[in-house]
Amino acid sequence: MFDELSSIENPHVRSWLEEVATLTKPSNIHICDGSEEEKAALTAQALDAGELEELNKEELPGCVLHRTAQNDVARVEHLTFICTNEEKAAGPNNNWMAPNEAKEKASKIFDGVMEGRTMYVVPYVMGPIGSPYSKVGVEVTDSIYVVLNMRIMTRMGSRALDQLGPDSEDFNRGLHSTADRNPDRRYIMHFPEENTIWSVGSGYGGNVLLSKKCFALRIASWLGRKEGWMAEHMLILGIEDPEGRTTYVAAAFPSACGKTNLAMLIPPESMKGYKIWTVGDDIAWMHIGDDGRLWAINPENGFFGVVPGTNMKTNPNAMITVQKNTIYTNVVLKSDGTVWWESHDDPAPTEGALDWKGNPWTPDMKEEDGSPKKGAQPNSRFTAPASQCPSIAPNWEDPKGVPISAIIFGGRRARVAPLVYEARDWQHGVYIGATMASERTAAQYGKQGEVRRDPMAMLPFCGYNMADYFQYWLDIGKRIPNPPKIFHVNWFRTDEEGKFLWPGFGENLRVLEWIVDRATTPEKTENAQETPIGLVPTTSSINIEGLETTQEQLEDLLKIDPKEWKAEVESQNEFLDKFGEDLPKEIREEQGKLKDAL
């Protein structure tokens, strides 16, 4: 029926695509091969259509700018659904819709949605080509912007169909249409039982690059539990010490809380003997290795990073990464064809610039409420190939991954949580992860700054009932003979005036140094002290040499206020109670221990 699809050998892929094409009725079908010629042709077409704008060829070779619709700038958790047969499988942490109802609803929008348009078929691999831990997905979309992003974020094209093989049914089926971008008809639907995703009505990253949050986290967390591995919202990095030993850690921070920055850290002047190797900045898939350790791969091929705040001081590696072959979304366009954003190294352009909406913009402009009018959208993003990152680990595509010695949880907390502390054991670590909290950022719709529980930074991304997820964490810990040590960090503690107490960014290596020391030499005891919440560094064991941070400020950063913590323990109940009887008893057990110790 659809001639273009006859070149696809795998009958399961072909018949699913026929089904999708029958529903969406495209005028053309293009099967992406991932070639340079294809990229050039698609880019030219999107430039023609105004979907992309070319940037300064000398300063930013191969870079383009895209502006989303103004009502379509972040993930929409309230329009994101887990569609399982049983409501309970989705849990109180997810919006649930019955699969039949979901498909009926969305089918009405998908029906004929690609009439007069081209349906792009994007086969892709998550994980290094040939890795036993990699997975294949196929995304159908009517957006060239999506295709070009997927080309950077995944290993896309013919090689994905090769990896899948002629007869395998084991691939994720992702259907996306930008449709009319109407938020009233916007749905991000997941069918974990069918390894399928339907996304309609949005053109923004996390809602439409179905490889990323939809597949590599929501669906993969479901698959991981079924198959015995873990899919987590974690960066992966290697810390090479002055003696040349590299220790790998994985860290889960909520959206826009510093994963990309930490993954690309540059050692401060006083720690020059160290080197940080970036393996991944957002997602980790982890398996138990033959050697009894936990091994992690980065399933992605690029970075979809937060732009504002990025500069040569905070993240030079990111700045260098985005100088070429990068898609910028929702930033300021300067008259010379280069781009700008809040906290850029260069001063704000005073004439000839367009803001993220495409309107003339100057830095003195104000919003209606008198606040400064931002030129770049706070959740503006860059899409850039991981291979361009100066700190990319030489082994980042190793099919077996890297061995993880420490798992780090972290949030954005103005108060309560100290700079760093260590869990007493795995079960305590799971409790720390399960009760993590953070202030809401621009990465999702909702009230900014509001503290919310975000267990393991997975609240928006766990594809099933989080009570079962906590249980799975507890169970898998018992199956890892040599599990990573678990830590919690907080770079965002403030003083009375609301100023950050900790310099952050490159200086975070000082905290990583303590973590590595704790994780690799557990026999040492002089560098940590027991407290009710876990093990906290002694003030002499965090190196603050060369920092403006005073000893007194460090003490403040490491302080545990029993009054605040008692309130913290109580406030956890509002979230934990939602899971009722399903909440593993170990979580309550750890909560009880903390309460008693306080």
Burial 506-533 (b: 16+ CB within 10 A, else e): bbbbbbbbbbbbbbeeeeeeeebeebbb
Phi, psi for residue 594 in degrees, rounded to 5: -65, -45
Q: Which is nearer to ligand GTP, 52 or 256 (CB)?
A: 256
Pairing verdict, β 118-126 and 155-156: antiparallel
Say if residues 120 and 147 touch (Cβ distance below 8 Å). Answer: yes
Q: Does 491 bind ligand GTP (CB under 6 A)?
A: yes
Pairing state between β 420-422 and 118-126:
unpaired
Q: Which of residues 243-262 bind Mn ion (CB under 5 A)?
A: 255
Instruction: Please give the DSSP secondary-structure letter assigned to residue 213.
Output: I
Rule CB under 5 A: say whether 281 interacts with Mn ion.
Answer: no
Counting DSSP H helices and E strands in the chain, the numbers are 16, 31
Tell which positions 419-448 bind ligand GTP, by CB under 6 A.
443
Is 123 or 206 the residue whose CB approaches ligand SPV more closely? Answer: 206
Size of the site for ligand GTP (CB under 6 A): 22
Give the interface segment with ligand SPV, choosing from 56-64, 182-190, 204-212, 465-473 (CB under 6 A): 204-212
On whether the CB atoms of residues 414 and 498 are closer than 8 A, the answer is: yes
Other C-beta atoms closer than 10 Å to the C-beta of 334 total 20
Q: Please, what is the minimum distance in Å from the beta carbon of residue 175 to ligand GTP?
A: 24
Q: Is 303 in the site for ligand SPV (CB under 6 A)?
A: no
Q: Of 73, 46, 211, whose CA–CA distance to 142 is shortest?
A: 46
Q: How far is the CB of 417 from ligand GTP (least distance, A)?
A: 14
Q: What is the DSSP string of 369-422?
A: TSSBPPSS-TT-EEEEEGGG-TTB-TTTT-TT-EEEEEEEEE---SSSS-SEEE
**How far is the C-alpha of 538 from the C-alpha of 554, rounded, in Å?**
10
Q: Which stretch binds ligand SPV (CB under 6 A): 128-136, 206-214, 405-413, 499-507?
A: 206-214
Does the protein bind ligand GTP through residue 506 (CB under 6 A)?
Answer: no
Between 246 and 310, name the residue whose CB sits nearer to Mn ion: 310
Gap between the Cα atoms of 20 and 211, Å rounded: 18
- 403-422 positions binding ligand GTP, by CB under 6 A: none
Of 271-279, 286-294, 400-408, 498-506, which part binds ligand GTP (CB under 6 A)? Answer: 498-506
CB of 411 to ligand GTP, least distance (A): 11
Determine phi and psi for 414, rounding to 5 degrees. -65, -30
- Position 306 contacts ligand GTP (CB under 6 A): yes
Is residue 83 annotated as part of the catalytic site, yes or no?
Answer: no
Question: Which residue out of 32, 83, 214, 257 is catalytically annotated?
Answer: 257
Alpha helix stretches (DSSP H) within 305-372: 316-321
Query: DSSP letters of 74-106?
Result: SB-GGGEEE--SSHHHH-TTSEE--HHHHHHHH
Residue of 34, 280, 299, 305 that binds ligand GTP (CB under 6 A): 305
Touching ligand SPV, residues 58-87 (CB under 6 A): 75
Asked whether position 261 contacts ligand GTP by CB under 6 A, the answer is: yes
Candidate list 282, 355, 454, 568; residue touching ligand GTP; CB under 6 A: 282
**Shortest distance, position 145 Cβ to ligand SPV, whole Å:** 13
Task: Identify the CA nearest to 172 among candidates 139, 128, 148.
Answer: 139
> Which residue in 43, 255, 326, 377 binds ligand SPV (CB under 6 A)?
255
How many residues belong to the site for ligand SPV (CB under 6 A)?
Answer: 9
206 near ligand SPV, judged by CB under 6 A: yes
Q: How far apart are CA 166 and CA 49, in angstroms?
A: 36
Contact (CB, 8 A) for 141 and 211 = no
CA pair distance 362, 133, nearest whole angstrom: 49
Q: Taking contact as CB under 6 A, which single stretch among the options 157-165, 478-486, 504-512, 548-556 is the one that binds ligand GTP?
A: 504-512
Identify what 206 binds: Mn ion, ligand GTP, ligand SPV, none; CB under 5 to 8 Å per kind: ligand SPV
Nearer to ligand GTP, 183 or 309 (CB): 309
Query: With respect to ligand GTP, which residue has the nearer C-beta, 188 or 306?
Result: 306
CB 74 within 8 A of CB 204: yes
Tell me which residue of 46, 41, 65 sits closest to 336, measured CA to CA: 65
Using alpha carbons only, how large is the chain's radius of gyration in Å? Answer: 24
Residue 383 or 471 with smaller CB distance to ligand GTP: 383
Please report, as a single letter, which amino acid is at residue 135. Answer: K
Report what 314 binds from ligand SPV, ligand GTP, Mn ion, none; CB cut-off 5-8 Å by kind: ligand GTP
Q: Does 217 bind ligand GTP (CB under 6 A)?
A: no
Q: Does 257 bind ligand GTP (CB under 6 A)?
A: yes
Q: Which of 282, 342, 397, 422 binds Mn ion (CB under 5 A)?
A: 282
The residues of the shown chain that bind Mn ion, judged by CB under 5 A, are 255, 282
The residues of the shown chain that bind ligand SPV, judged by CB under 6 A, are 75, 205-206, 212-213, 255, 282, 304, 443
The residues of the shown chain that bind ligand GTP, judged by CB under 6 A, are 253, 255-261, 281-282, 305-306, 308-309, 314, 443, 491-492, 500, 504-505, 508
- Which residues are the active-site residues? 257
